[in-house]
Amino acid sequence: MAFNKFLKSVVAGSVISLSTIGVVAAETTFRYGEASPNRGARAEALQYFADQLESRSGGDLKLDIHWGGALLKYSAILGGVRSGAADMGSVLAAYAPQEMRALSVGDIPVPQSDSWVGMRAMYELMATNPEMQRAFEDNGVVYVTNMTTSPMQFECAGNTRLESLADFKGKKVRASAIYAKILNDAGANMVNFVFSEVYQALDTGLVDCSGTYLYAMRAFKTPEVVSSVAVMDWGQIAGFGMLMNKWSWDDLSSEQRSLFRQIGSEMIDYYAQKLVEERREVLAELPTGSLGNKVEVISWSEEARAELFAESDKYVQEWIRDMEKAGYNGTQIWDDYQALLKKYQGELDAKGYPWARS
């Protein structure tokens, strides 16, 4: 009798344990490496992704976001995601130029600098082009969706004003990726440091000007230490992806993968709307002094912008050669990317932003 009671308790315990294991197995939490702090438009977009994922999976899929580089710094995120130290992360191609040469196509300055256009073109290219998908899988990761810094502008301290490419000559400037190479060619004295140090560098005179983004000016309070901003809309850093560990991705069901993709697509519209609205607000507020100094807004002419993009040509060819050396069809990928940029720019021109359509 005692044995029967013992057996029943063991069986009951096993059933409870198995049911508990089933619940645990159904709930998957992904460690997410994010090097920026939990503030600003991009942080809101990432939190939107996490909230939508949890809600629409019925709580089965969750992100545990480690903000501000607490888990991994930008330079270590790709390696961390690839090795499984993190399941997912925000990866900038500029910090892993060889491994993420495919993603870096979004860093090449192009005239279609609108945030929504750029992210939409990158998303379709990365999510549908087999060669791009192979390039990620070769590095042990899978592309989920895209982010962007928004269009590149330059903010300047002191009496420095930029109205053309020639004005960069002799100036101390901070920029990254291909933008830095082009400005170096133009005679600028390039200074390298992380974006979080821009405020101090401008305030102390370490640099005359720094590449920036309108939403970041408010977030990093740089209007307190600058006198002008050159609104150039010089492309954008769109080589900025949300990536997942390949093993983690393979463990997902087809329905779960579709959910990640769908929310990733929706996040692009959510984030782009915030960037567009922020741009409008910041441009209106800069001259008033409400953000710090009264900052002069210098809008570049189309002729001055065209000179910038003409300087991109040799770096386009460099990117194509680098891709082909690595075993990919760089020319075809570039042509596909150009077609997608024109497609979404045409859609924007004809219909406006998706959130503003009736």
pLDDT digits (tens, 9 = 90+) for 163-209: 999 999 999 999 988 899 999 999 999 999 888 899 999 999 999 99
CA 181 to chain centre: 20
- What pLDDT shows up at residue 358? 74
Q: Is the pLDDT of residue 307 over 60?
A: yes
Q: Which residue has the higher pLDDT, 335 or 194?
A: 335
Q: Is the pLDDT of residue 13 over 50?
A: no
Rounded to whole angstroms, the Cα distance separating 191 from 141 reads 32
Domain match, 166 and 39 both? no
State which residues form the domain around 158.
153-236+287-351
- What pLDDT shows up at residue 26? 64
Domain match, 226 and 114 both? no
Long-range contacts at 184-188 (CB < 8 A, ≥ 24 apart): 185/311, 186/311
Domain match, 112 and 52 both? yes
- Residue 356 domain-assigned (yes or no): no
Domain match, 268 and 126 both? yes
Domain match, 182 and 74 both? no
pLDDT digits (tens, 9 = 90+) for 30-51: 999 999 889 888 999 999 999 9
Domain match, 57 and 131 both? yes
Token pair recorded at residue 143: 């592309």
pTM: 0.88
Q: Is the pLDDT of residue 22 over 80?
A: no
| Contact predicate 222/286, CB 8 Å | no
Q: What is the mean pLDDT of the chain?
A: 91
- The arithmetic mean of pLDDT across residues 208-231, rounded, is 94
| Burial of residue 156, with CB atoms counted within 10 A of its CB: 0-12 exposed, 13-18 middle, 19 or more buried | buried
Domain match, 61 and 168 both? no
Question: Residue 25's CB: how many other CB atoms inside 10 A?
Answer: 9
Q: Is the pLDDT of residue 353 over 70?
A: yes
- The arithmetic mean of pLDDT across residues 242-263, rounded, is 97
pLDDT digits (tens, 9 = 90+) for 148-158: 999 999 999 99
- The arithmetic mean of pLDDT across residues 240-265, rounded, is 97
Domain match, 34 and 130 both? yes
Pairing assessment for the beta strands 172-174 and 240-245 based on DSSP bridges: unpaired
Distances (CA, A) of 174 to 89, 138, 209, 234: 26, 32, 7, 15
- The arithmetic mean of pLDDT across residues 133-140, rounded, is 96
| Contact predicate 233/77, CB 8 Å | no
- What is the Cα gyration radius of the chain? 23
pLDDT digits (tens, 9 = 90+) for 111-120: 999 999 999 9
Domain match, 112 and 219 both? no
Q: Is the pLDDT of residue 224 over 90?
A: yes
- The arithmetic mean of pLDDT across residues 252-264, rounded, is 97
Print the SS3 string covering 200-240. Answer: HHHHHCCCCEEEECHHHHHHCCHHHCCCEEEECCCCECCCE
